[in-house]
Each structure stands twice: as C-alpha cells, then as structure tokens.
Amino acid sequence: MQQPSTIFAGGCMLDDVQIQAYLDRIAYTGPRVATLDVLAALHVAHLQHIPFENLDISLGHKLDLSTPALLDKLLQQRRGGFCYELNQAFRLLLQSFGFQTSLIAARVFNGKDYGPDFDHMLIQVQLDGQGWIADVGFGDSFRAPLTMNGQPVTELGMQYQVQPEPGLGSTTACFKLMQGRDDKSMQPQFRFSLQAFEINDFAAMCLYQQTSSLSHFTQKTICSIAIPQGRISISNNKCIRTERGVRQVHSIRDEDEYRSLLQQHFGIRLAAGAAVQRLMARHPV
C-alpha cells in the first residue's frame, strides 16, 4: 500500500490529508504545481477564505505557532490569525506544491516611523530565477504576489510597488512596500530585507504583539477578510464593508449581533462562554 507523501518545511511536515484539508478550506481545486499562476490563485484564495484576525489576543488566549496548533486553528476550528500564524501556515502549503520559500521579517510603518524588527512576517518565493513576495497576513494589502523588480501593480484602484530602500547602513539589500491611489500619494507599508529566518525567530515579537500595551493588536480587535471587490471587517463594535471604493460603517448593537455577523461574514463561531464584550469594548459606539 502506498504511503501518504510528506513535505518537509522548516522542521515541519504536511501530509496528504492536511494538504487536502487546507485546499478545501480555501476552496482551491486547481493544479498542484509550482507556477506563478498557481501561486497567484492560492494567494487570493487564501485571502478570500481565511480571515486576518486577532480575536484570541483580546480573549486572553495565548497563540501557538507550532504546526499542529496552526492547522487545528485554521482548518479544524475554521478560524483566522495574524501574520505569524497565517504566513507560516501558507508557507507550509506553498512548499507542499514545490515552491522555494523563505520567511522574511519586516518593520511596519506607523505613519511616522518604522516599528521594531520582526514586527511583521511575510514570505519570499523564488520562481524561475525571480523573487516574489507573498503576504496573506497583513489585512488590507496586495492580493497577488508582488515581483521584486519594482514593477507597480494596481488592484481595486490601489497601486502597490516594491522599491529599494537605500542608506540603511547595512550590507543586506533592503526594500519597502509602497501603497497608494496613484504614484504621487504612495506611502510605505513596511520595510524588509531578504534575509531568511525560521518561525522560532519571530516568537519573541509574537509574544510582544500579544501582551504589550504598545502593540496595535492589544489596542483593538479586528477580524477582516477580502471579498472580490473589497473587504469586510469587524473592528471592535463596528462592521465595515468597503466595496468598489464605497465604505459603509454599521454600529453593532449587542453581543448577539456581533456573534451573528462574525458567523455570517467569516464563518467563525465563538464558544458559548467567550467574553464578547472584550471584543467590542475598545471602540466607542
């Protein structure tokens, strides 16, 4: 009897059953080959089926970046996560298709300055001698993998471009991801180098993001998912739908409505005893 194949990826393995469960989760039925078209299809499918969310942080549940815990949360519990969870899991899936990948670290731009090292995690993919970045863990960002050659891409009226970042006093080449409505309004999203890391290198910052009062993720709760022409988000007690550039904001009345919207838009069912008020309370009505 033939044994299920396994994929070694950064010290972890996905077997055939796990791979199929992942593909079912993101509703992907296409070919399983390492091509740019497949990478793009997997990337957008992930964004449209697995939400970016930090509910566990507000609920006081410590995050676990081990492969069994990630697969249980994303595939069995049908939850989402933030960058360290989503991009680590996505990397394992990509490697199961034969993609050459590495985890890279970024510093997020807050409007004035860049955050600390390992503030964000994304994926570098080497394909046919060319570098691409993939990122399913940043919330409202690019939907198709971006080339490292600086070619701008426009999606839903928003332009994205990877630009070189000179003058950082390092021998490692650095880059920044720019986003804007046009080339005159583009602002940095984050800065990164191509130095490869393993998931354990992000553990300290992952803990910081969960516990520090300075962390963006302890200051508000977010659950957000891409839709074909926009995005739906629940941010504390607001439900926000942006479609074709039109933004609609709805104030959530109570816990029952919060649970209903979470299930309707994200497929998430909270436990009966979950402290929903903690998820709603950090934003004034």
Q: What is the pLDDT of residues 50-65, one digit of tens each?
A: 999 999 999 999 999 9
Q: What's the pLDDT score for residue 13?
A: 74
Q: pLDDT tens, 76-90?
A: 999 999 999 999 999
pLDDT digits (tens, 9 = 90+) for 225-256: 999 999 999 999 999 999 988 999 999 999 99
Has residue 121 got a pLDDT over 50?
yes
Is residue 155 very low, low, confident or very high in pLDDT (cuts 50, 70, 90)? very high
Mean pLDDT of all residues in 116-138: 96
With a CB cutoff of 8 Å and minimum separation 6, the contacts of 158 are 179, 180, 181
For the segment 37-49, what is each residue's pLDDT rounded down to a tens digit? 999 999 999 999 9
Top pLDDT among 72 and 6 is at: 72
Complete DSSP assignment for 3-17: PPPEEEETTEEEEHH
Angle at 52 between CA 47 and CA 58, to 5 degrees: 170
Q: What is the pLDDT of residue 29?
A: 97
Q: What pTM was estimated for this model as a whole?
A: 0.92
Distances (CA, A) of 45 to 31, 110, 186, 201, 223: 14, 28, 26, 27, 17
pLDDT of residue 245: 85
Buried b (16+ CB within 10 A) or exposed e, 4-35: eeebebbebebeeebbeebbebbebeeeeebe
Average pLDDT, the chain: 91
Q: Is the CATH number 1.20.272.10 carried by domain 220-280?
A: no
Q: Give me the pLDDT at residue 184, please.
A: 74
Q: Are 192 and 106 in contact (CB under 8 A)?
A: yes
**Averaged pLDDT for residues 270-284:** 85
Question: In the chain, where are the structural domains located?
Answer: 12-203, 220-280
Amino acid at 250: H
Q: Do domains 12-203 and 220-280 have the same CATH topology?
A: no
How is domain 12-203 classified at the architecture level of CATH?
2-Layer Sandwich (3.30)
Torsion (CA) 127, 133, 135, 141 in degrees, nearest 10: -130
